[in-house]
Amino acid sequence: MGQQAMVMQYTKETAEVLPNGGGGAAGAGLGAGLGISLGQNMMNVNKQEPQQKIIICHSCNAENPQGNKFCSSCGSKITQNKKITCGNCGNDVPEGNKFCGSCGNSMKTEYTCAKCGTINPSTNKFCNECGEKRA
């Protein structure tokens, strides 16, 4: 039974026991008490604790609070994902992602020239070896 329903039931039972329907100072005191307690309960309902960020253990997939250095389930060291900056939009992207989650840009750091096979940084628009425009 909910707390509000219990208070209402208590009020009803108290009123039945008091003479003449429970008027007078006792009834007024009970009413004031109920008003205060219901107000307190309503204030507590609106309070919500902030969501705590979690990290998934790479060994056992258990959820751990952010900040843990070791998994609370298996004891493995928890490694934080390194972030790299997207060359297109500047957002931080977890290392290992193939694409940026914000703009969809490829996160490859190198590309191979189609003409000569030279490996070039992905930021180049032309091949360092032969000058071929990047496809």
pLDDT in tens, 1-34: 577 777 777 777 776 766 665 555 555 555 555 5
In a domain, 57, yes or no: yes
Is residue 3 in a domain?
Answer: no
The answer to whether position 7 is within a domain reads: no
Would 2 be classed as within a structural domain? no
Containing H/E element for 110? strand 110-112
Indicate the pTM of the whole model.
0.34
For residue 107, how many C-alpha atoms fall within 13 Å in the half-sphere facing its CB? 19
Mean pLDDT of 100-119: 90
Query: Cα torsion at 99, 104, 105, 111 (round to 10°)?
Result: 50
- The string of pLDDT tens digits covering residues 64-91 is 898 889 999 999 998 776 788 888 899 9
Q: Is residue 87 part of a domain?
A: no
Helices (H), the chain: 3-17, 24-46
| Domain around 69 | 52-81
What is the C-alpha separation between 47 and 50, in angstroms, rounded?
9
Q: Is residue 93 part of a domain?
A: no
117: in domain:
no
Task: Please state the domain count of the chain.
Answer: 1
